[in-house]
Amino acid sequence: MKLVLPPSYSEVQPHDDLDSLLCAYFRSEMPKPWPALPPARNVVRELPRMSTFSSGRSRLALAASVALLIGGSLILPCRMPTQNKVEKQTMSQGEATRLDLLQEKGKPTVIRAEASERGAR
């Protein structure tokens, strides 16, 4: 197997015909001498002033949205139950007679099922 080294950037690479043709074309299209920059006109424009009513409304809307975000993040976790338990459910004979679903905060969900034998009452 032969190892090929990448070309060095310090060496001058030979130009192919396409490169020299494109270089000559674009250089011929450039204006000689380069045109001078036209002097800038001194135009002063005043920015329209926002009325105090519209800026006050936007600030009030921003304050209300921030208050809703903070209030919602404080109220919602308080209303979430820490433990859910499914009520006792009776099923037909031979199936589970009782199902309990226990879910404590930060712990995995536990499902408990009690089954009865077929024919037993």
What's the distance, Cα to Cα, between the start and end of the chain in Å?
82
In a domain, 99, yes or no: yes
Alpha carbon separation from 2 to 5, 9 (Å, rounded): 10, 22
Q: What is the pLDDT of residues 81-102, one digit of tens each?
A: 666 565 655 556 666 567 778 8
Residue 23 has pLDDT above 90, yes or no: no
In a domain, 105, yes or no: yes
In a domain, 107, yes or no: yes
Specify the number of domains making up the chain.
Answer: 1
Strand 83-85's sheet: what is its strand order?
A: 83-85, 96-104, 110-115
In a domain, 60, yes or no: no
The answer to whether 101 and 111 are in contact (CB under 8 A) is yes
Number of DSSP helices (H) and strands (E) in the chain, helices first: 2, 3
In a domain, 88, yes or no: yes
Alpha carbon separation from 40 to 36, 44, 48 (Å, rounded): 12, 12, 23
In a domain, 97, yes or no: yes
In a domain, 120, yes or no: no
Q: What is the pLDDT of residues 55-89, one digit of tens each?
A: 788 889 999 999 999 988 888 777 666 665 656 55
Predicted TM-score (pTM) of this structure: 0.29
In the chain, % of residues over pLDDT 90: 12
> Residue 94: which domain range?
83-115
In a domain, 61, yes or no: no
